[in-house]
Amino acid sequence: MLARTLFGARSPFGDGPQQVKYSTFIDQVEQGDVIAKGVIRKNLFLGEYNEGAPGATKKNREFTVTLPDSPQATANLIQLLQSKKVTFDNANTGPMDILTNIAGMLLLPLGVVLIFWLFFLRQAQSGGNQALNFGRSKARRLGDNVPKVTFDDVAGVDEAKQDLQEIVEFLRNAKKFQALGAKIPKGVLLLGPPGSGKTLLARAIAGEAGVPFFHISGSDFVEMFVGVGASRVRDLFDTAKQNRPALIFIDEIDAVGRQRGAGWGGGHDEREQTLNQLLVEMDGFDPNAGVILIAATNRPDVLDPALLRPGRFDRRVIVDAPDFLGRKAILGVHTRGKPLSEDVNVENLARRTPGFSGADLANLVNEAALLAARREKTRIEMTDFNDSIDRVVMGPERKSRVLSEREREVVAYHELGHAIV
């Protein structure tokens, strides 16, 4: 019966139903004990005879009747079937039946498509709407939950601190400079080798100035799609202008500020468009008063000349590796608050670490603290610092290596030569 309801005919397997004339069918219905049950579908009646009824065969009791194409005739037939108490299903719903069949066939694929669409939409939303906001800047605003860094936490770069303190003072009291006709630099470029403290100085400016501070890496601007980097630059400066006075810090600006015309291809076109937009934002027709750009790099030789000219990066701050006094001051900052033994001499440590950058000295103090903790000590001793210097310079001690007598003799002669010289 289900096959007849769906397809309007019997399954192709086995014998088909009998064909009965409409007049004969009406006579059989009026007899009352011939028709067992049936289905009205469109202009067909799909029925089944009672067992032993005239016209029924042993193999097949099913039959079909073509009904008149008239709604009134169908209504009269339904009334007759009800009066004779013939069980039937009325599946003839007219034009809506076609729509129901189509909807039934499309429901499953539409459901699958809807599930996939909701999945990808959820992924886009969980990723910060990256698929929908591809051109938005990736700059992050420094929040209050980040540990505050001040100029007291920076040592060994006194000249750089003095230059940057003027920036902070202008943001705090701009009228003092404006009364004398002075203009604050639009951009400050921090130059120095890796680990010299450029990023730490930028964090100190953020902690001292008390204004919105946006930080981003130069590599966050450039993407494989042309135009995205320029859009992110515009969005970054628009956000900063809405929160002026504000500071923008771009770390590793050489990733986006390389000299134009240095290569070919779509990637270089995208980077150059990003650089062009950065040049316009820094010194274009649209003023950006109240927004100061701070950038850091250890590759000033690859930067575009237009980026370095006055009016964009007006001030260049050199952050060199610290000298003896600078190393002593940096060690004093990093050992502040740590339990030191009385035999620790910071001045001797500064003399033993020529060429160390600020990051190297911070790592040295941390290694000494780790060694002291590993040795179950309650204070950091001078031996821990000496061992940490060897560990930082030459790597961890290899206690498992055993020297042969020949190797010991060669090393002894070698060291004796050093002593004689």
Q: Which residues are catalytic?
A: 415
* Cα-only R_g, the chain: 43
Q: Which two tokens stand for residue 89?
A: 């299903």
| DSSP letters for 143-193 | PTTSPP--GGG--S-HHHHHHHHHHHHHHH-HHHHHTTT----SEEEEE--
Q: State the Cα–Cα distance between residues 171 and 166, nearest whole angstrom.
A: 9
Q: State the Cα–Cα distance between residues 160 and 61, nearest whole angstrom.
A: 103
Q: Which residue has the tokens 């060199």?
A: 320
Q: Which two tokens stand for residue 410?
A: 């060669």
Q: State the Cα–Cα distance between residues 371 and 386, nearest whole angstrom.
A: 11
Q: Which residue has the tokens 């000219």?
A: 309
- For residue 252, which phi and psi values (nearest 5 degrees)? 55, 60
> Cα 36–40–44 angle (5° rounding)?
105
